[in-house]
Amino acid sequence: MANFFKRNMNWINTRMGFFLLTIVLFWAKTYIAYQTEFTLGAKGSVQQFLLFINPVPAALLIFGIALYFRGRLAYWLMMIINVLESTWIFANVLYYREFSDFLSFGIMKGSSDVGNNLGKSLAQITHAYDFFVYIDIVILIILLVTHVIRIDPRPFKRRYAFSITVLSFGLMFAEFGMANADRSGLLTRTFDNNYIVKYMGLNEYAAFNAYQTQKESATRASANASDMKSVLKYLKQNRVSPNVSYYGKEKGKNVFIIHLESFQQFLIDYKVDGKEVTPTLNKFYHSQNTLSFDNFYNQVAQGKTSDAEMMLENSLFGLPQGSAMTTYGTQNTFQAAPAILSQEAGYTTAAFHGDVPSFWNRDNTYKSWGYQYFFSSSYYHEKPGYTVGYGLKDKIFFEQSAKYIEQLPQPFYAKLITLTNHYPYELDKKNTDFPATKTGDKTVDPYVQTAHYLDQSFAEFLTYLKKVGLYKNSMIVAYGDHYGISNNHRPAIAQLLGKSKVTNFDLAQFQKVPFMIHATGLKGGVNHTYGGEIDVLPTLLDLLGVKNTDTVQFGQDLLAKNRNQTVAFRNGNFVSPKYTKIGGTVYDTKTGKVLTLTAAQKKTVAQLQNHVTTELSLSDRVIYGDLLRFYKPKGFKKVDKASFTYKYKPAMAKLAEAEKEEKTSALVKNHNKTTTYKTDAPELK
C-alpha cells in the first residue's frame, strides 16, 4: 500500500500537495461536525452550499501562513495550526451540546469564575467520538512518520503563497456577498450566532465576536449623557400604569427570592410512575394566595443564571455574548432592586449562595447592585458529602442560611440561590428517593430526581419560615432561571412531552419557567399573560408600592392591564399571544402551526420584530456604554460600592450592630432564641 502511494501520489510530496491534503481533510471534518454536532438550520440550496464551502476560505488563509516559511518549519506550522483549529472545533462541540450556542470571548473571559466545576461538567458531556476532530492530524502524522509523505525542503515561491492569501480573501468576500443576499443585514441585525456560523463559518464567527468585544469596550469610552435620550424616550412611550387592584398590597413585607436552579415549567404537576416530581411546588403554584404565571419565559443567553439575575433585579437584558455580570458588573452603574428597596423603603438586602463568591463575579456585581450582605461559601460549614456539583446541597444550604436570615433586620430583601438542580444533575443514593425518567438520555433522566430533591428542600424552608414567624409577613417569590434540558436533547424532550417529535415551536414553548408570587392574603390564581424575566422587577415594586417611574427598566408589570405581551428572546426571536417567530418562520401561538402570512399579518409581525429589536439594542446600549452613570432618577443615589464588605468578620459585626440598633429581626422578636431548622438531610444526622 505504501509503494502504491509513492508511485501514484508524488504530488503529495510537494509543499503544495501537503497543504491541499491538509485543507481537504480539515474541510471534511469541519463539515461533518456542522452536520452532526450543531443545529444550524440550513434551508434551501444557497444556505446548504454556503454551509458546505464555508470552512475553506478561512482554512486557506490560516493554514496558508505556513507557506511563507521554509522546509520543516512550514510542515510544523501547518500541524500546530491544525491542532489549534481542531481544539476550537472541539471546544465548541462541547459547549454547544449543553448551551445551544457557540463560545464567545466574553464566556472564555469569565470561565475562570466557574473553576473546577465547569471542568467537571465538561467531563460529563464529553464523548469518545468527539475526539474525531483530531483524526486528520493523526492521519497526517502517520503519513509523515512512515514516509508515505516526504517533507519537501525546496523553498516555496512567495508569490504563490501570496496568491493563496489573496484567493482566501476573495472567497470570503464572495461568500459574504452570497450570505448577505440571502440574509440581509447578517452582521448588523441578527442576534443569533447560529446564523453567522451557518453562513460564514466558525473562524469567521470568532473574528466577528472578537470585533464585537473590542467594539463594546470602545463604546463605553465614547458614550456620553446624550445617549440616554433615546432610551428614556422609548421607556416613556412604553411605560404602563400599575394595576390598582394590586399596587401596594404587599407594602412593607419581607421579600424572599427563591432561585430555582434550571427549573422548567413542565415540571409543575409532572409525574413519573404516577408520582409528582414536585408536590410542594405544585401546591404552592396552585395556592389561592399565589399569583402564578403559566406563560412566563426564560430570556437568557450565554450568561445563563447571570442573565436571569441581571433581568430579575435590573430589568435589563443580558448580553448577546458573554455575561454582563462578569464583564460589566464591577465597573458599571446600576439601579438594581437591592439599592431601590434599601433607599426607597428602608429594606435590609442580602444574597445567599452556597458556592465561591467569584462565581459569575457576584462578589463585585452584588456591591454594584447595592447588596449590603452576601453570604457565600465562606459563611457555610462544609464537610465531605455536603456539596455536589456547583456547591452546597440545597437542604444543607437552606438549613445553614436560616441562622443568618433570622438576624436580618426587617423588612428585608433576601435572594437564595439553590444549586443542586444544576447540570449534571448529580445526587448521591442516600438523597435519591425518586425514580428517574426512562428516555435513555443519561443527561436528561436524572433531572427529575434533583428537581424532586429541590422540592423537598423548598418544603423544609417553608416550614421553617412558618415556625420562625416570617411566613405571614413575607412575599415569597419563586422562579426558574433557565432551561435545565437544552434543545440538543430533542428525542428525550419529545418523550417527556408525550410527542413523537418536537418542532422549533415546541422548543420555544419549552423555554417556559415558573414564576410564582405568594403572600398571605394575596389574591392569587393562574395568570395567563405573556411575560418573562425582564418583567419581574417592575411587578414586584408595584406590589410593594415602591415608586419606580423614574428608574430605567425595560420590563413591564405583569399585572398591568395594558401591558405589551411580546416576549423577546435574546437571539431576536419572540413569542406573543398571537404570533411566535423563530428564525424566519412564524407560528400561530395557540395552535403551533406554521403561518402563511397575509400582507396585514406581515406588517403586524414586522412591528413586533421592530419592538423586540429596539428594546434589545437599547438595553445593550445601556450596559455597553454604562449609560446609567449619566442618569440620576429622583431620590435615587448612586451606589457606593466601597461601603460594602462581604468578608465574614466585618460583615457579621455590621449585621450584629444593625440588629441591635433596629431590633426588628426574627431573632430579636423571638426573644433571642434561635429557631431550630428541621431537615431530613442524611448528612446532618
What are the residue numbers of the active site?
A: 305
Strand bridging mode 290-297 / 412-417? unpaired
Structure-block grid coordinates of residue 46: 444557497
Query: In Å, how far from its chain's centre is CA 425?
Result: 17
Tell whether omega for the bond before 411 is within 30 degrees of 0, i.e. cis. yes
Q: Rounded distance, CA 456 to CA 279, Å?
A: 9
**Cα-based distances in Å from 472 to 346, 466, 483:** 19, 7, 31
Q: Rounded distance, CA 453 to CA 464, Å?
A: 17
Picking from 477, 482, 631, the residue whose alpha carbon sits closest to that of residue 539 is 477
- Total residue length of the chain: 685
- Asked if residue 156 lies in contact with residue 67, where contact means CB atoms within 8 angstroms, the answer is yes
Picking from 653, 643, 641, 656, the residue whose alpha carbon sits closest to that of residue 408 is 656
Cβ atoms within 10 A of the Cβ of 175, count?
Answer: 21
Cβ atoms within 10 A of the Cβ of 583, count?
Answer: 15
> Residue 632 — φ and ψ, nearest 5°?
-120, 105
Dihedral class, residue 315 (left if φ above 0, else alpha if ψ from -120 to 50, else beta):
left
Q: Is 64 helix (H, G, I), strand (E, B) or coil?
A: helix
E strands, 376-421, where?
A: 387-388, 391-392, 412-417
- Asked if residue 290 lies in contact with residue 300, where contact means CB atoms within 8 angstroms, the answer is no
Task: Give burial (CB, 10 Å; 0-12/13-18/19+) of 138.
Answer: exposed
Picking from 156, 151, 215, 169, the residue whose alpha carbon sits closest to that of residue 59 is 169
Contacts of 629 (CB under 8 A, 6+ apart): 332, 333, 638
Task: Give burial (CB, 10 Å; 0-12/13-18/19+) of 453.
Answer: buried
Q: Rounded distance, CA 367 to CA 645, Å?
A: 8
- Asked if residue 362 lies in contact with residue 376, where contact means CB atoms within 8 angstroms, the answer is yes
- 423 secondary structure, DSSP code: T
Q: Rounded distance, CA 383 to CA 362, Å?
A: 24
Cβ atoms within 10 A of the Cβ of 527, count?
Answer: 16
> Residue 287 — φ and ψ, nearest 5°?
-60, 145
Structure-block grid coordinates of residue 145: 512518520
